[in-house]
Amino acid sequence: MNIQTIVKIISAVFGLLGVIFLFRIIGAGDEEIKMAASMGDYGVVTPLVSIAIAILLITVAITVVFSLLNLASSSQKLKKSLLFIGLFIIVVVAAFAASSGVETPLKDGEMLSSNGSRWVEAGIRMFYILAALAIGSILFFGGKKLINK
């Protein structure tokens, strides 16, 4: 049995389980699910969420394994990947260093710690830095192409 057949069978099993769990949720109805959830019982929804998490974990694991196998096949690809991972880490460190954290009250009454606030601000700064780098590289290489033609 080849890998494609195995993947089709596993996909069919997950799809069938997903449909069964979905029909259980639809059959229970909104009001019953809301009432059960208000008492802390998520029994109808939990299987569908669990299968979604399982599919996500399997997908991530397969992606990581095949990416690493592909990188291991060529030292040039590995060097380039490690260079870009290092550059990304530099962006993370720079964004975190430029951020400051302040304890912030949340809507549910809890407090976001100053460290958590700093990571949120660092994530926003990383987004802006990476967006600026992407736009800059698009403009640079687009302009370079226009000049060379």
* Residue 149 and residue 114 share a domain: yes
**How large is the average pLDDT for residues 116-125?**
94
Q: What is the pLDDT of residues 6-34, one digit of tens each?
A: 889 999 999 999 999 988 888 888 888 88
Same structural domain, 80 and 143: yes
Mean pLDDT score, 35-59: 87
Residues 98 and 141 in one domain: yes
| Cα 24 from chain centre | 28
Residues 84 and 144 in one domain: yes
- Please identify, among 73, 98, 121, the residue that sits at the C-terminal boundary of a domain: 73
Structural domain containing residue 1: 1-73
Residues 92 and 129 in one domain: yes
Point out the domain boundary residue: 16, 43, 73.
73
Chain mean pLDDT for the chain: 90
Last residue of a domain, one of 73, 90, 122: 73
Non-local CB neighbours of 24 within 8 Å, separated by 6+ positions: 44, 47
Q: Are 111 and 105 in contact (CB under 8 A)?
A: yes
Over residues 30-46, mean pLDDT: 82
Q: For the whole prediction, is pTM greater than 0.75?
A: no
Q: How many domains does one find in the chain?
A: 2
Secondary structure of residue 104 in the 3-state scheme = strand
Say how far apart CA 59 and CA 91 lie, in whole Å: 27
What pLDDT, on the 0 to 100 scale, is given for residue 122? 95
Q: Same structural domain for residues 2 and 45?
A: yes
Q: What is the DSSP letter of 22?
A: H
Q: Locate 40 and state its tokens.
A: 């802390």
Specify whether 34 is located in the same domain as 93.
no
> Token digits for 23?
């029909």
